[in-house]
A and B are shown apart, each in its own frame.
Chain A
Amino acid sequence: MKSIADINAIREEMQSKVLIRDNTKEGETHVFVAMGTVGLQSGAVEVFNAFVDEITSRLIKNVRISRAGSMDVKDQPAAEVVLPGKAPVTYVGLTADMVKVIVEKHILGGEPVTEYIVK
């Protein structure tokens, strides 16, 4: 037997777990994580995981995260962020902590994080 509070708690907890199945995205932001051989060796999986965790745990909608092929940049792991109607921004030398900053400032705030951008 559950109470209303219990049901609401389940809802809170479960929402982040099903968020990435949202396929009604409109005007969505795209994140591509480079998963070529070099990327995989230098920790692209952690970066991909960090994006998924950050987006879903904060229940941010309309973001599609994709594993992509290799990207032609030196400092891997790398990822590309494309806001609707904007040019792609490529980030390099990423860590999980940097992903948090990118989500906060760029994906939510709309301002690319210039320090992380490929020169």
Chain B
Amino acid sequence: MYRSHVLVCGGTGCHSNNSANILKAFNEEIAKANLTADVQTVQTGCFGLCAVGPVVIVYPEGAFYSCVKVEDVPEIVSEHLVKGRLVERLLYKEKATGKTVKALSETNFYKKQTRVVLRNCGVINPENIDEYIAMDGYQALIKVLTKMQPQEVIDEVLASGLRGRGGAGFPTGRKWQFTKDAVGDVKYVACNADEGDPGAFMDRSVLEGDPHAVIEAMAIAAYAIGAQQGYVYVRAEYPIAVRRLQIAIDQAKEYGLLGKNILGTGFNFDLEIRLGAGAFVCGEETALMTSIEGNRGEPRVRPPFPAHKGLFGKPTVLNNVETYANIAQIILKGADWFKSMGTEKSRGTKVFALGGKIVNTGLVEIPMGTTLREVIEDIGGGVPNGKKFKAAQTGGPSGGCIPAEHFDIPIDYDNLISIGSMMGSGGMIVMDEDNCMVDIAKFFLTFTVDESCGKCTPCRIGNKRLLEYLDKITSGKATMQDLEDMEKLCYYIKDNSLCGLGQTAPNPVLSTLRYFRDEYIAHIRDKKCPAGVCKSLLQYKIIKDNCIGCGMCQRQCPANAISRTDYIAPGKKLAAMEIDPSKCVKCGACMSTCKFKAIIKE
């Protein structure tokens, strides 16, 4: 019987910070201290607070150690595990309050969350099916197979109000119903784990931290619609997720939870992984299926929708990882429980990946209807360095920004659409006063231009032209007429592209235009970038009267753009420096070296 559990995060964030060696060090030190029979070490999935990783949690105290290094391990073992004294210096300090927090559950970051999808992430060992079973794992599948008719399963999911978490928010129960009702003897279920939105990593975390939840849900979906075969499409860039999912599938097969005659009920279901090469367009449902079939991942026209003609031309249910991760809970706890969370048209919770200018970067799960303010200030710890919040981008390259004026908007599908953004997969990138909104739009559009599959002209050429307009604006060469033409082009691309990628690509431009048109105009009319980001519109200057002539900047300049003048400022001993704008490459190195605030950018 283990009296203490040492949980070491094995999520991608902590893993890349050496957490595997931390786990190894714990095993060695625990053996040295003769505690092998008393202390269990567990490698878990992501805890959510990746910013302070590698994370180690010691139970029963729940002590939350952050930024742990291999060298810290002997101390944690000898102090905490042997003598029972918490290692204060490693306990997590909440940045907002400055308080040392002893347990994960006491952090503001954690307290305000509602964990449904992430309930097992950071709690169980994802490579041990028994731990999933301990958390009521596979009880929903047992319930469905022994007590429910397929139609009852669909009715429950329908009644829960669950909507797809992969982007568009289509009601999951309806999708299942269409596929069940479609004519055909062979049907498929598929899981979209392509997760192409830059910045989003909730699907990866679920697969890394709780892979059985997806397997169980897919088996339930298969039973409901009458399928016997499933595919998980996951990008090859997620090696840990792929490995854990494969281990989970193997264990489920060994236990007879996948395969023929599952648990002796006569139901057959098998599951395979298909690796994607990481193209954004392969997250689009028709492209994804084309890719699974072994062809080049290009979208095709809908209808026919996958519910009628999906994989290999057969009726197919495709859902996102996070969508699936809700299913077992809905079956076990009931639609009414699920409906009690969220807003009228958006039930349940949503996981967001917080990134950008925010203190607690990481994964958070909140009930739908939580305000942006609560997410950013209470859970996220606010914008760092005393800067002002400017906007949050949701929906990634297909979405838009939410400006400060909508800080109190309850986050749900319909509210986000009404203010010109969208839920998307749940990436949330926070921007402060130092971000240029034209530059942000350019960032996302560069991404979509790169990722366009090229099949249809409005997207392939239209978005390229759109990007050229943005380039023109950020280099101060655009006219007001360009702005007008650009806006028209946005709608043209949206209306005429074949798939969702092209149809949504102009959204970041449109939404920044909607809320920050003045910034566009400043770039065009005044040839200024108000946030000081767009390099072509910037000038570095030396204020001669502040310059003591130390020459530090000159040594840093990679372009040899700084030279000495013959002007000696009053009270200074050496002649001041100056910058030759024709040579300056605007790297900013001089400004950050100057200790006398003599260099400004404007």
The 8 A CB mask of A1-35 against B (1 = contact, 0 = none) is 11110010011001101101101110000000101
**A20, B60: Cβ atoms closer than 8 Å:** yes
CA–CA, A12 to B78, complex, Å?
33
Pick from B3, B134, B138, B256: contact of A53, CB below 8 A.
B3
Residues of B near A66 (CB, < 8 A) are: 60-61
Residue B263 CB within 8 A of the other chain: yes
Q: Shortest distance in angstroms between B57's beta carbon and chain A's nearest beta carbon? A: 8
**A2, B255: Cβ atoms closer than 8 Å:** yes
**B136, A11: Cβ atoms closer than 8 Å:** yes
CA–CA, A52 to B105, complex, Å?
19
CA–CA, A4 to B262, complex, Å?
10
CA–CA, A10 to B256, complex, Å?
14
Residue A117 CB within 8 A of the other chain: no
Among B460-509, those with CB < 8 Å from A are: none
CB-nearest residue of chain A relative to B125? A18
CA–CA, A24 to B1, complex, Å?
23
The 8 A CB mask of A64-81 against B (1 = contact, 0 = none) is 111111000000000000
**B139, A11: Cβ atoms closer than 8 Å:** yes
Among B67-111, those with CB < 8 Å from A are: 80, 83-85, 103-105, 110
Residue A114 CB within 8 A of the other chain: no
**B84, A4: Cβ atoms closer than 8 Å:** no
CB-nearest residue of chain B relative to A56? B1
**A2, B263: Cβ atoms closer than 8 Å:** yes
The 8 A CB mask of B151-177 against A (1 = contact, 0 = none) is 000000000000000000000000000
Among A53-98, those with CB < 8 Å from B are: 53, 56, 64-69
CB-nearest residue of chain B relative to A31? B60
Residue A38 CB within 8 A of the other chain: no
**B255, A1: Cβ atoms closer than 8 Å:** yes
**A68, B84: Cβ atoms closer than 8 Å:** yes
Residues of B near A17 (CB, < 8 A) are: 1-2, 131, 134
Residue B133 CB within 8 A of the other chain: yes
Interface centre among B59, B60, B130, B142 (most CB of A within 10 A): B60
**A65, B60: Cβ atoms closer than 8 Å:** yes
Residues of B near A48 (CB, < 8 A) are: 3, 84
Residues of B near A25 (CB, < 8 A) are: 105
CB-nearest residue of chain B relative to A57? B1
**A69, B85: Cβ atoms closer than 8 Å:** yes
**A18, B135: Cβ atoms closer than 8 Å:** yes
**B62, A14: Cβ atoms closer than 8 Å:** no
CA–CA, A108 to B60, complex, Å?
18
CA–CA, A20 to B256, complex, Å?
29
Q: Shortest distance in angstroms between A69's beta carbon and chain B's nearest beta carbon? A: 6
Chain A: residues with CB nearer than 8 A to chain B?
Answer: 1-4, 7, 10-11, 14-15, 17-18, 20-21, 23-25, 33, 35, 40, 44, 48-49, 52-53, 56, 64-69
- The list of the 6 closest CB pairs from A to B, nearest first, reads A67-B84, A35-B84, A14-B134, A1-B256, A65-B60, A20-B60
Chain B: residues with CB nearer than 8 A to chain A?
Answer: 1-5, 7, 38, 59-62, 80, 83-85, 103-105, 110, 115, 123-124, 130-131, 133-139, 142, 146, 255-257, 263-264
